[in-house]
């Protein structure tokens, strides 16, 4: 299954009773496996988690190590970008050239950006070299 199709499928399982904005994310690890996640909201709003965070958690839990490609799908009027926090989470596990496909439910349009496009000047482990 391609990443957009996988993100569309998992999006249906989103728990989004508060925003009603369902998001699905799917990634391919460098190990070649598919991992998916959806947003999981909470009555205590800040405790909710994003779809991308779920897919990354599934990847790590499965023992895979790095993201080779990722896609995000939501019912949005324009291809939906990862939030700021998720950009940082993605950058933890993906190099600057890794493609991130932004897609939506109502159309086959999509936009491909790189991790560096989404998070230029990312803070990373290298910056803690002096710590």
Catalytic residue ranges: 52
Nearer CB in complex with ligand THU: 28/87: 87
Residue 23 found at the interface with ligand THU (CB under 6 A):
yes
Enumerate the β-bridge partners of residue 67.
Answer: 29
Nearer CB in complex with ligand THU: 32/83: 83
SS3 92: helix
CA distance 18 to 43: 8
Query: What is the footprint of ligand THU within residues 66-95 (CB under 6 A)?
Result: 82-83, 86
Minimum CB–partner distance for residue 52 and ligand THU (Å):
6
Long-range contacts of 116-124 (CB under 8 A, 24+ apart): 118/81, 118/82, 118/87, 118/90, 119/87, 119/88, 119/90, 119/91, 122/87, 122/88, 122/91, 122/96, 123/88, 124/91, 124/92
Minimum CB–partner distance for residue 62 and ligand THU (Å):
20
Q: Rule CB under 6 A: choose which of 50, 91, 103, 118 binds ligand THU.
A: 50
Q: DSSP class of residue 126?
A: G
Minimum CB–partner distance for residue 131 and ligand THU (Å):
29
Applying CB under 6 A, the residues found at the interface with ligand THU are 16, 19, 21, 23, 39, 41, 48, 50-52, 82-83, 86
């Amino acid at each position: 299954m391609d990443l957009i199709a996988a993100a569309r499928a998992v999006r249906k399982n989103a728990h989004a009773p508060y925003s009603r904005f369902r998001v699905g994310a799917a990634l391919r690890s460098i190990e070649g496996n598919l991992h998916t996640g959806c947003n999981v909201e909470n009555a205590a709003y800040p405790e909710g988690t994003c779809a991308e965070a779920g897919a990354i958690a599934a990847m790590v839990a499965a023992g895979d190590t790095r993201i080779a490609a990722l896609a995000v799908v939501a019912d949005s009027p324009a291809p939906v970008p990862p939030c700021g926090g998720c950009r940082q989470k993605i950058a933890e596990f993906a190099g600057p050239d890794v493609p991130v496909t932004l897609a939506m439910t109502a159309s086959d349009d999509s936009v491909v950006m790189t991790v560096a496009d989404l998070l230029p000047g990312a803070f990373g482990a290298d910056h803690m070299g002096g710590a």
